[in-house]
Structure 1
């Protein structure tokens, strides 16, 4: 806990906007690791939230209001470590990591960014202009403290953006002989268009499908008072969260045991994250109600210029009326916001509903990267060649010792 080493940045080429918040060449960068519980004080949370305002790429799942409830619920023993980059005493980079003994079922110890089943992005929070500096310091730290880890595994990583580009540049052979490989690529639905919500709806679905959705909405309205509520505030957020949990649990997820409310840990995570997001103006929520009872609900995280469609649920007793799809029709209003350019669906690849509605795609990767000395890196390079044999897609990285 709290171990530090110092790296002077005199003469270090800062990428992009190297003058963010006055951090110029010649300043001192400190890269450190701490127990995540050390980040839960009011002062640390304030620093964390300040970083989230200047990041190169948004990631709500690594912001304080989401990660702290997640860690409190899923890691009460404190096995997760927070890696931090500080420049002149200001927090400019953050990523949670955990040492694991198994790699997708195989007994291969490694270090990885900490994600879980309800975390849909693994990009570190890094201040604009400090992306390459963050990666350089992170790998220096990992090289000095590999312990039993054979490599660093980064999962849920986008394949575009300044944080990705800085990682790719840092790992190019001309600059770095560190072996690395992309071991998995997936795509998921994304909403990113200059069309209005009405234009997008007309182009995304066939005339027949649009007509059917309108018919289903009319039939629902004939059954009682049908309303759609959209909230961007924290009003009655606890009640809203409980209604969502109950709605989700009544469906197939409840029957399979995968609903959030089936586990006290995920229930606590969900309620804590939504409350924190709402208090910071980071939550947008929709509810379609029939005679005051929710039949479809949806929660988005707002992290301008992007947004993330975190969770959705619908009442399966009304499945023939497609309330979940009807609510996604309302969610297209995201296209009409000036502050949101794109929305990540957070959905699985080939999702049967959203893939037919949202036309754009986002590619998400898993990368494995060598750490430690030459022998350890050579062993990892052999492992990476074996894992990616016949299908590997190096991330413009080399899989060699």
Structure 2
């Protein structure tokens, strides 16, 4: 196996067009979709969000062909434990962590990634993998390889989050999965909102509008509670630059799904999704909180339901929402189980770190059971 590991990439601007083409070719043949590691989103993140994180992008090649890619960072802590470890890089705006692995080469790619970490002097402790689909190709191949190599593997955490995957059209899905009382209330809100003026919903289709839409989204998100708490994208210049760059690159690649709802031509709710293959990932939502009595966030999600179910190229959408999200959980019936793993690395001191983390976790479970 021909393997290549790059020690650190401070910015994606250092990549030649041929490098990005290799990443794109891998992404298009990936066993598991992950829009956050598509070149347009990953390169934007490396450009604007990676300076303080010291991100390393691991690559695995076989026969001169790229079969695996995973960005990682070194963390000085593992949860509450002062144990150093390697973590797959998930910045604050990344909601899925599955590496890009070529379909049919899943075990070979994982073998190469783990061998690189085993041999890397900079890699402490163990590998902490976050944001994987428990039922996905990555998790299955990783489990099989760990069994083959007798390598320690421990599931650290799992939770379910809302997902949209159905052959029903939007109206039938709404009827099947939403309580009649809830449907009646939403129709009432739609009517009340329409009494204020003309309500329109539309997807971004014109490149000339992209910059304006991005600016309106940033302003709309910052006008609400996220702005007050300092977590809106516009609160940090790097976050805003990442958003604009990712949207521009995804639009050019025809993978941006950007929806807005207007009242008399003014945006009152906006929703950004990124596509990969037949799947899509719901990224960010923003709405005018002054109109909260009309639930514009829920109404644009209903518009999104129609847009997704009406598009034969989109087979499913991951909500990327937190577990037990009160809004999206009531609208989407399907669930995706997201998991975290702790994977043992070989080398002096690493076995002890893996065993210590497992032991502390087991002790914590016993103490919680006694309380």
- Which category describes the TM-score, using the shorter chain as reference length? over 0.9
- State the TM-score, normalizing by the size of structure 1: 0.86
For 2:351, the equivalent position in structure 1 comes to: 377
> Deviations for 1:68-88, whole angstroms, at most 9, x for unmatched residues?
111221223671111011233
Structure 2 Cα separation of the partners of residues 260 and 77 of structure 1: 18
Q: Which has the higher helix share?
A: 2
Q: Secondary structure at the match of 1:361?
A: strand
Does the Cα contact within 8 Å between 1:152 and 1:370 map onto a contact in 2?
yes
Structure 2 Cα separation of the partners of residues 201 and 255 of structure 1: 34
For 1:26, the equivalent position in structure 2 comes to: none
Q: CA RMSD in A?
A: 1.8
Structure 1 Cα separation of the partners of residues 54 and 167 of structure 2: 44
140-149 vs 188-197, which moves further: 140-149
Verify: 1:213 aligned to 2:213, yes or no. Answer: no
Q: Secondary structure at the match of 1:120?
A: coil
Does the Cα contact within 8 Å between 1:286 and 1:298 map onto a contact in 2?
yes
Structure 2 Cα separation of the partners of residues 131 and 350 of structure 1: 31
For 1:318, the equivalent position in structure 2 comes to: 291
Q: What displacement does 1:382 show? A: 3.2
For 2:341, the equivalent position in structure 1 comes to: 367
Does the Cα contact within 8 Å between 1:186 and 1:349 map onto a contact in 2?
yes
103-112 vs 158-167, which moves further: 103-112
- State the TM-score, normalizing by the size of structure 2: 0.93
Structure 2 Cα separation of the partners of residues 197 and 85 of structure 1: 41
Number of corresponding residues = 363
Structure 2 Cα separation of the partners of residues 79 and 137 of structure 1: 21
For structure 1, which runs of at least 5 residues remain unmatched after alignment?
Answer: 1-6, 8-28, 393-401
> Deviations for 1:274-330, whole angstroms, at most 9, x for unmatched residues?
111111000111111011110000011121221111111110111111111111111
> Deviations for 1:167-196, whole angstroms, at most 9, x for unmatched residues?
011112xx2221121111111110111211
Q: What displacement does 1:381 show? A: 2.0
- Give the one of 141, 144, 149 matched to 1:166: 141
Q: 1:133 to 1:168 in 2, by over 3 A?
A: same
> Deviations for 1:326-367, whole angstroms, at most 9, x for unmatched residues?
111111121233222211001011111001111111111111
What aligned pairs does 1:295-306 form with structure 2 within 5 A after superposition?
A: 295-306=268-279
Does the Cα contact within 8 Å between 1:308 and 1:343 map onto a contact in 2?
yes
For 1:259, the equivalent position in structure 2 comes to: 232
Q: What displacement does 1:121 show? A: 0.7
For structure 2, which runs of at least 5 residues remain unmatched after alignment?
Answer: 367-371
For 1:180, the equivalent position in structure 2 comes to: 153
For 2:251, the equivalent position in structure 1 comes to: 278
